[in-house]
């Protein structure tokens, strides 16, 4: 009861109610909220602190920035959603706040488009070497099973494409990436798709900022070839996978395109089935049959694996590639 009362006291204030409503519509920084509300940053920060302490908002660090969004898991998450739903959509204050929020989203979209434009040639050059992405995504959906995605984690999410592909069938989805710029692009893509159950976080694929056994499905899509130690990435993914959960690794089969190493920072020129299978087994996962999609000159491999449903909690061993 004390938790509920704290939540009710926290939200029973005009500015905090506006903040809660805004964070229900988007993931926002203090600066962005200050712009929308037209209030000082110290005042907004103080209100946000109270909402976080009451379990109504979640706060996530991303370098020097902090993002806020309505909590989905904390003690007062249900209260927050209920209160926001009770606000009339024609409320003049809310209407103005949402108009200003759209302006913030447009600014984000422009920044993301500028970054994407500057890097589009790099991505298009690599895409031209293998089979169409739509075919890869279709195969991934078939392997993972669109009706059993559950809670999804996408490691090295980049533009958030995997979240967009799976978001509608996932209970919730989280994308992890180490690039602030790519996360900005991903946020815009998720907003365009209207996927409020999806979110992205700054994080290292070797030390995922997620609890152990917290996801039903994990994807590692075209990321492993950048890793110094691919085996450790898989081991860390296995740590985050629940018993009965599934992992899909999508990457290149062995190839000789040295330009990808010299010009695009690829650490590995593809992976063999035996290599991936060995890493999966050492991470206490059971490899399944691999699927290969032939391209010219690159072939894309999809390596599914699962964690046994009766697997007991344990510390997944890290191994070297």
Of the pLDDT bands very low, low, confident and very high (cuts 50, 70, 90), residue 320 is: very low
Nearest to 16 by CA among 39, 48, 53: 48
Q: Tell me: the pLDDT tens digits for 82-106? A: 888 898 988 999 999 999 999 988 8
User: According to the model, what pLDDT value does residue 96 have?
Assistant: 94
Of the pLDDT bands very low, low, confident and very high (cuts 50, 70, 90), residue 303 is: very high
User: According to the model, what pLDDT value does residue 92 have?
Assistant: 93
C-alpha–C-alpha distance, residues 101 and 114, integer Å:
20
User: According to the model, what pLDDT value does residue 316 have?
Assistant: 44
C-alpha–C-alpha distance, residues 118 and 223, integer Å:
20
User: According to the model, what pLDDT value does residue 60 have?
Assistant: 82
DSSP helix/strand/coil, 21? helix
| Mean pLDDT of all residues belonging to the chain | 86
Domains of the chain: 2-101 (1.10.10.10), 129-306 (3.40.50.150)
| DSSP designation for 160 | T
User: According to the model, what pLDDT value does residue 143 have?
Assistant: 85
- Please give the average per-residue pLDDT across 142-163, as a whole number: 87
Taking the complete model, does pTM exceed 0.85, yes or no? Answer: no
For the cut 80, the answer to whether the pLDDT of residue 112 exceeds it is no
Q: Tell me: the pLDDT tens digits for 36-81? A: 999 999 999 999 999 999 989 989 886 677 889 888 777 777 888 8
Higher-confidence position of 304 and 181 = 304
- The alpha-helical segments, DSSP class H, found in the chain are 2-11, 14-25, 30-37, 41-53, 77-86, 92-127, 133-144, 161-166, 180-193, 230-240, 258-264, 273-282
For the cut 50, the answer to whether the pLDDT of residue 21 exceeds it is yes
Higher-confidence position of 126 and 161 = 161
C-alpha–C-alpha distance, residues 52 and 4, integer Å:
14
- Please give the average per-residue pLDDT across 137-147, as a whole number: 81
CA atoms within 13 A on the CB side of 112: 22
| DSSP designation for 200 | E
C-alpha–C-alpha distance, residues 250 and 231, integer Å:
14
Query: How far, in Å, are 68, 177, 304 from residue 61 at the CA level?
Result: 9, 13, 32
For the cut 70, the answer to whether the pLDDT of residue 127 exceeds it is no
% of the chain beyond a pLDDT of 70: 90
């Amino acid at each position: 009861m004390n938790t509920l009362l704290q939540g009710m006291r926290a939200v029973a204030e005009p500015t905090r109610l506006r903040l809660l409503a805004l964070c229900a519509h988007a993931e926002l920084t203090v600066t962005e909220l200050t712009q929308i509300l037209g209030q000082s940053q110290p005042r907004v920060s103080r209100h946000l602190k109270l909402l976080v302490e009451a379990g109504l908002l979640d706060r996530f660090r991303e370098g020097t920035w902090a993002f806020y969004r309505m909590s989905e898991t904390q003690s007062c998450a249900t209260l927050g959603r209920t209160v926001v739903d009770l606000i009339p959509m024609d409320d003049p204050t809310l209407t103005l706040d949402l108009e200003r929020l759209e302006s913030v989203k447009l600014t984000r979209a422009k920044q993301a488009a500028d970054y994407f434009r500057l890097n589009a040639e790099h991505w298009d050059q690599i895409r031209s070497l293998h089979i169409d992405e739509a075919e890869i995504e279709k195969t991934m959906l078939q392997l993972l099973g669109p009706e059993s995605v559950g809670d999804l984690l996408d490691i090295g999410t980049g533009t958030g494409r995997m979240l967009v592909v799976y978001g509608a069938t996932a209970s919730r989805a989280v994308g992890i990436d180490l690039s602030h710029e790519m996360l900005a692009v991903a946020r815009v893509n998720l907003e365009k798709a209207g996927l409020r159950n999806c979110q992205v976080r700054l994080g290292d694929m070797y030390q995922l900022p997620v609890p152990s056994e917290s996801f039903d499905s994990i994807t590692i899509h075209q990321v492993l070839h950048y890793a110094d130690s691919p085996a450790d990435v898989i081991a860390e993914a296995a740590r985050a996978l629940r018993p009965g959960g599934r992992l899909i690794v999508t990457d290149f089969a062995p190839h000789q395109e040295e330009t990808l190493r010299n010009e695009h920072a690829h650490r590995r020129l593809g992976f063999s089935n035996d290599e991936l299978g060995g890493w999966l087994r050492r991470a206490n996962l059971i490899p399944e049959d691999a699927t290969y999609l032939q391209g010219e000159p690159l072939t894309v491999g999809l390596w599914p694996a699962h964690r046994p449903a009766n697997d007991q909690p344990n510390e997944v061993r890290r191994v070297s590639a």
